[in-house]
Structure formats: structure tokens, C-alpha cells
Amino acid sequence: MSASKWMLLALALVLAGSALAADPAPRYNTVELQADAQRELANDTVSASLYLELNDANPAALAAAVNKAANEALRVAREYPAVRARSGNNQTYPVYAKGNVLQSWRARAEIRLESKDFEAASRLIGKLQAGMQLGNTAFSVSPEARRQAENELIAEAIAAFKARADIVRGALGGRSYKIQRLNVSTGYSAPPPRFAVARVMAAGAPEVAAPNFEGGVSMVTVAVGGAIEVLD
């Protein structure tokens, strides 16, 4: 055999040995596990939407009236610094009579509120309901409170995972175990929004009674899943 063929054979043997060395050693007594930790948190944030709908045959006059009402609502909201107010979805669409004849125009303006001060938000909503309809209210946990709870629950969920791993180790008669893989995921379940029943109110109607808010609770969950190898 020539020298070049010997070199090619040696190189092939080296590559084959490297491939075998790179293959992971077979693992036995591998068990998939999952554990979680949950916590109820009081909802500390309320959000609400209020809207106004008007009809007019003149689209320009209609737009002016709706914009004026929405701007006035935002001006009133600025009197409540604890409540964050912003414009919502505004839209205008035609209203047709029989025979597909254009009859008038209808416009809708919306504002959205958010606050951690339930009392201030309630007072503002009661004031705005003199000229607007309450669309819905929703309660949630603020991002910072949720993040803090998740950080604390991660430690609890991992501790629960290790406790289950130790139970599995004992059931299989192993002397110890080694974590092969670990995944952490978070979950959040908030109460559904509450939709208000629309009420027709005359322009310039007096301020209505402020709604009572009970924020309720949301559930924060951290799940830990992975695999362990039980060692003999």
C-alpha cells in the first residue's frame, strides 16, 4: 500500500474515533417530571372604556360634535391625575335606509382609562357617564407586581421539582439523581372584562352615581418541567 493510501486510512480512523467520542454516553433511568407553584394576587389595576355615539346627516357637523365631546371627556379626565386617560377607537360609518339609500352618518368616539386608584377611577367614570356610556371594565395585576410574584414562585416551583425528583429517586432505589434538562414557564389568569348595559341618557344629564369596584384576584403560575437521570 502506498504512503498516500496509508495516510488516508489513518485520517479515516482518526475521524471515526472523534465521531465516537462525540456521541453522548447512553443514559438510563431517565424520568420526565413537572411541578408548579401558584399564587393568587389581588388585582391592583382597573381599566375601563367609555364611548359616545351620535347620528347626523352632515358628516362634518357630526365629526365636530363627536370630537368636541371626546376632547371634553379627556379634559375632565386630566382633573384626576391618578387616572391615565387616552383616546380609543374612533370610527364613522354610513347609515342606509331601505333601497340602500344613504340616510345619515353615525360616529363613535371612545376613551380608555387605567388606574391603580379604584376610588378615583370610579369617581371619574361616574362623572363621564353623564354624557358617555360605559363599555366595559377589567381588572388585572400590574406588571411590576406580577413580575415580583413570578420571581418568588420560580424558587418555589424548582423546590417542588426537586422534591418530586427525590421521590422518584427513592422509588427507583437510586443513590442520587442528576438534572438533565430544566424548563421554566409562567402563566397568568385574569378575570374576564365586565361589559356594562348601555343606557340612553340625555345630553347635559346630571352626574350618575359612581360605580363600586371590587377588583377580585388573578392567578399567577410558574411551571417547571424537565428530565432527571437516576443514578445507581
pLDDT of 123 over the 70 cut: yes
> pLDDT-based confidence at 11, cuts 50/70/90?
very low
Q: What is the pLDDT of residue 199?
A: 47
> pLDDT-based confidence at 200, cuts 50/70/90?
very low
Mean pLDDT of 183-206: 67
Q: What is the pLDDT of residue 223?
A: 97
Q: What is the DSSP letter of 29?
A: S
29 φ, ψ (degrees, to nearest 5): 55, 45
State pLDDT tens for residues 47-71: 999 999 999 999 999 999 999 999 9
Q: What is the pLDDT of residue 212?
A: 73
pLDDT of 140 over the 90 cut: yes
> pLDDT-based confidence at 208, cuts 50/70/90?
low
Q: What is the pLDDT of residue 190?
A: 84
Pairwise pLDDT comparison (214 vs 146), residue with the higher score: 146
Q: Which residues have CB under 8 Å from 220's CB, separation 6+?
A: 38, 39, 40, 41, 141, 146, 149, 150, 153, 186, 187, 188
pLDDT of 72 over the 90 cut: yes
Distance CA 162, CA 34 (A): 10
Q: What is the pLDDT of residue 56?
A: 92
Burial class (CB in 10 A: 0-12, 13-18, 19+), 140: buried
Q: What is the pLDDT of residue 207?
A: 57
When the pLDDT of each residue in the chain is averaged and rounded to a whole number, the result is: 85
Mean pLDDT of 67-89: 95
Pairwise pLDDT comparison (75 vs 22), residue with the higher score: 75
State pLDDT tens for residues 13-54: 445 555 444 455 566 689 999 999 999 999 999 999 999 999
Distance CA 124, CA 139 (A): 16
Q: Which residues have CB under 8 Å from 63's CB, separation 6+?
A: 92, 107
Query: Nearest to residue 138, comparing CAs of 213, 51, 199?
Result: 213
Q: What is the pLDDT of residue 150?
A: 96
Q: What is the pLDDT of residue 195?
A: 58
Pairwise pLDDT comparison (2 vs 43), residue with the higher score: 43
